[in-house]
Amino acid sequence: MNEPHYWTSPTGKPLPYWGEQHFQDAWASRHDLKEIADGCRLNVLSSIHQAGSGHIGTSFSSMDIFVAVRRFLQGEEFLTGVSLRHIFFSSKGHDAPALYASLHAGGELSDEQLFSLRRLGGLPGHPETITPGVATNTGSLGMGISKAKGFVKAQRLTNPSARESVVVLLGDGELNEGQIWESMPGAVKEGFGEIIAIVDSNGIQSDTWTNATLPMGDVVARAEAVGWHAMECSGNNPNEVVAALEEAQRDPRPSLIVARTIKGSGISWMESFPEDAQYYQFHSGALQEPLHDLAVATLLPRFGGHGIDTLDENAEAVLALDHYSPKPRPESMVTVWQDMLVTVMEKNESVITLDGDLSYDTGTHLARGRFPERYVQSGIAEQDMVSMAGTLALSGFIPFVHSFATFLTMRATEQIFNNASEESQIIYLGFLAGLIPSAAGFSHQAVTDVGIMGSIPGMRVFEPSGLAEFEWCVEQALGHKGPSYIRVGAVAAVESGSATVGHLNTLAEGKGVALVSSGPLLTQQALECRNQLEQQGFETPAVFSLPEITRPLDETALDQLARFNHVLVLENHNPARAKHFHIEIQLFARTVSIHRLGLEGLPANGQPAEVLSRHLLDPQSIAAKVVGLAGSSFVAADNALTNGDTYLDRESH
C-alpha cells in the first residue's frame, strides 16, 4: 500500500513520491508519524531533484518536527484540507521543501504543486503567502517570534476567547540573529502563552558546526532568564515532539522547545559530519545524480519499494565525500572574488575580512585559510558584523564585509550609516545581487540595495561585470577614504576588457543604439542580444558596461554615448538614483533618447530564464526593444517614471 508513485521529471527520470492518497490513508489508519515523515522525506528529495536546488539537510532534520506539529495542531482526527495557516509557520524558511511536503501531506497542496518547486508561478524557494497554507513570507532569518506575536495579538483582538497555540519553527543558526532575543521579552510582557517556538537544533549552520561558527551558549537557560518556559526534546522522534508541544501548551508562559535533531536525518551519510569537519555538503543544492539515486534507494525499502541496482558505483560516490573541502563550484563572480581577495590581503596588511556565515558562498574561505588572524567569522549576525567593522576601521584596518546583498544592506542599514557618519573606509560586498538567483524567492533577491546603499553619505556603489572591472572597482574602493559597496552578481563573469578599463567600458562596438549595462547578468544578456541581432542582419547595438553606478558620468563617457540616437540602460535593480538617472539627466539636453529596461517592484520568483523573460531582460526582449528604438524617431524617455505604479501581478509568480 505504501509503494510510491512516480513523477516524471522533465529529463524523463522517474521520481518516486508519496501522493495525496498515501497520506490520507496513512493519517486515517493512524500510521506511525515517523513513517509519514519518511514519506515526506521522499517527496522532499524528489521535488528538490526536479527543481535543481533546495535545502535538503535542514529539510530532513526538521521533517519529523513538521509532521509532529501537524499532528499536534490538527489532533488525532485527520481532516483533509485543514489549513494551519496563521497558527504554524517556519521562520527559518530554507526548510521550504519540508514545509511544502508537510502541507502536501496535510492535503493543503496537490501533487502537481509539490513538483512546481522553484518555478515561476510555482512554490517559491522560501515560503511566501502566495502559497496556500503559508502564513507569512520568511527566509530572512530572525523574524519568527515577532511574527508569532503579531498573530497572537490579532487573535486576542478578533477572537479573545480562542487562545489557540501559534507555533513557529526556528533554526538553531537563526538564533544567531539578534531579533530572536529582541522579540522574546515582549512575549513575556504581553503574557503571550500561546506562542510555542520550536528550534530545529541540528547544530550545523550554512558551512559548518554552530559551535565553530557562533556558539549560542545555554539556550534553555537564556530563554528561562527572559521569563520563557524552555525545554529540550529529541527532534527526530515525532512522538517526543508532540509530547513537548503538549507540555508547552499547558504552560502559561511562552515556550521554547529546543528540539535536538541531526542535519540530513534519515540518510546515514547525510547525518555523518565529523566534529572537526568544515564543510557540510548537504546544506543547499540538489544532490548529484548518484547521491540522489542512493538516497532514494535508502528510503524506498521503508515503504516496501525496492532499491536501485547500481549501488556499488553510488557507494563510491559516497565514500568520496569530503567534509574538509568545499564542494567544487562553477566559475562565477564568486570564484573570481575568492582568488582576488587573497591577492588583496597579500598586498595590503591592513585588510581584514568579515563574513556572516557564508564563507563559501561569498568566496572568503580561501582568505580564511591563508590569513586566519585577519578573518572574523561573525555568524548570522549582520548588525554585529557591520558595527565591529566600524571600530576596526577606526583602528586603522580596512574591513571587507561580506554577506548576501539583501541581508547586508537591509539588516544592518543603521549600522552602515553609523559607520558612514564616522567617514570610515569600509568595503561592503553584497552577493546574490539582483534578480538571479530567482528561485530562492524575495528574501534572497536584492533589488533595493542600490537605492539603499546609494543613500548612505559618502558611499560609492559599484557593480562589476567581470574580472577586470572587479579589479578596477576594488582599486577604486581602496583609494576612496569613505565607504564603498560592491554588488556581486551570482552568475559567470563576462570578459570585461583589459586592465585599462575606465569608467564607461566599451565591450562591443555598434551603431544606432547604445546598450549600457552593469554586472555580469545583464551585460551577458546585452551581448547575447547583440549577437542575435547581428545574426538576423539588423544593425548591431553597441554594448557598454558601467562599473560604478551611482556617480554622474564624466564628459568623455557622455560624448561616447551622445554619438548614438538611443541609449538603452539595463538595470538589475529597482529604480534608484543610479546610472539611468544620471544618464537621463545628463544626456537629455543633447536630444538623445534614453530608455530603461530594469527591475521594478517585487522581483519575479522562478528559474532564471523564466524570470528574465518576465522582466523583459532576456536577449529577445532587449532585442525587440532595440529594434523598436532603431525604427523610431526621437521619443521622450519612457520607463523612468513608473515607480510605484506597476507591480507584478501576484497571480503570475
Choose one: 100-108, 197-205, 378-386, 607-615; the region binding its own copies (CB under 8 A).
Answer: 378-386
- Among 243, 417, 558, 616, which residue sits at the site for its own copies (rule: CB under 8 A)? 417
Segment 459 to 478, residues that bind its own copies, using CB under 8 A: 459-460
Q: Does 448 bind its own copies (CB under 8 A)?
A: yes
Strands (E), 194-305: 195-201, 229-234, 255-260
For the CB of residue 292, give the shortest distance to its own copies in the complex, in Å: 31
Segment 74 to 93, residues that bind its own copies, using CB under 8 A: 86
Q: Under a CB-based contact definition with an 8 Å cutoff, are residues 444 and 432 in contact?
A: yes
Q: Does 576 bind its own copies (CB under 8 A)?
A: yes
Choose one: 140-148, 238-246, 431-439, 468-476; the region binding its own copies (CB under 8 A).
Answer: 140-148
Which neighbouring-strand residues pair with 209? 204
- Among 73, 82, 188, 243, which residue sits at the site for its own copies (rule: CB under 8 A)? 188
Distance, CA of 164 to CA of 177 (rounded, Å) = 27
Q: Does 135 bind its own copies (CB under 8 A)?
A: yes
Q: Does 647 bind its own copies (CB under 8 A)?
A: yes
Segment 349 to 368, residues that bind its own copies, using CB under 8 A: 352
Q: Does 407 bind its own copies (CB under 8 A)?
A: yes
Segment 205 to 244, residues that bind its own copies, using CB under 8 A: 214-219, 221-222, 224-227
Q: Residues 512-551 vs its own copies: string with x where CB under 8 A?
A: --------------------------------------xx
For the CB of residue 417, give the shortest distance to its own copies in the complex, in Å: 6
Q: Does 430 bind its own copies (CB under 8 A)?
A: no
User: Residues in the chain, how many?
Assistant: 653
Q: Residues 264-293 vs its own copies: string with x where CB under 8 A?
A: ------------------------------
Q: Does 392 bind its own copies (CB under 8 A)?
A: yes
Segment 578 to 597, residues that bind its own copies, using CB under 8 A: 581-582, 584-586, 588-589
At residue 144's C-alpha, the angle toward residues 139 and 149, to 5°, is 145
Which H or E run contains 271? helix 268-271
For the CB of residue 216, give the shortest distance to its own copies in the complex, in Å: 6
Give the residue among 489, 454, 462 at the shortest CA–CA distance from 478. Answer: 462
Q: Does 322 bind its own copies (CB under 8 A)?
A: no
Kindly give the residue spans of alpha helices, DSSP state H, lying in 124-237. Answer: 144-158, 178-189, 210-213, 219-226
For the CB of residue 222, give the shortest distance to its own copies in the complex, in Å: 4
- Among 3, 182, 346, 554, which residue sits at the site for its own copies (rule: CB under 8 A)? 182
Q: Does 552 bind its own copies (CB under 8 A)?
A: yes
For the CB of residue 648, give the shortest distance to its own copies in the complex, in Å: 9
Q: Does 406 bind its own copies (CB under 8 A)?
A: yes
* CA 592 distance to own-chain centroid: 39
Distance, CA of 526 to CA of 567 (rounded, Å) = 13
Q: Does 644 bind its own copies (CB under 8 A)?
A: yes
Which neighbouring-strand residues pair with 17? 5
Distance, CA of 618 to CA of 609 (rounded, Å) = 7
- Among 288, 348, 391, 536, which residue sits at the site for its own copies (rule: CB under 8 A)? 391
Among residues 44 and 447, whose Cβ is nearest to its own copies?
447
Q: Mind giving me the DSSP string for 341-404?
A: HHHHHHH-TTEEEEESS-TTTTT-HHHHHH-GGGEEE--S-HHHHHHHHHHHHHTT-EEEEEEE
Q: Does 258 bind its own copies (CB under 8 A)?
A: no
Cis peptide before 437 (omega within 30 of 0): yes
Kindly give the residue spans of alpha helices, DSSP state H, lying in 423-575. Answer: 449-453, 467-478, 520-535, 555-562
Q: At what angle do helices 144-158 and 178-189 cross, to 10 degrees?
A: 30
For the CB of residue 376, give the shortest distance to its own copies in the complex, in Å: 7
Q: 630 by DSSP, 3-state: which?
A: helix
- Among 36, 48, 388, 568, which residue sits at the site for its own copies (rule: CB under 8 A)? 388
Give all strands of the β-sheet with 505-508 in edge-to-edge order. Answer: 505-508, 542-545, 513-517, 566-571, 593-598
Segment 20 to 49, residues that bind its own copies, using CB under 8 A: none
Distance, CA of 255 to CA of 243 (rounded, Å) = 13
Among residues 143 and 270, whose Cβ is nearest to its own copies?
143
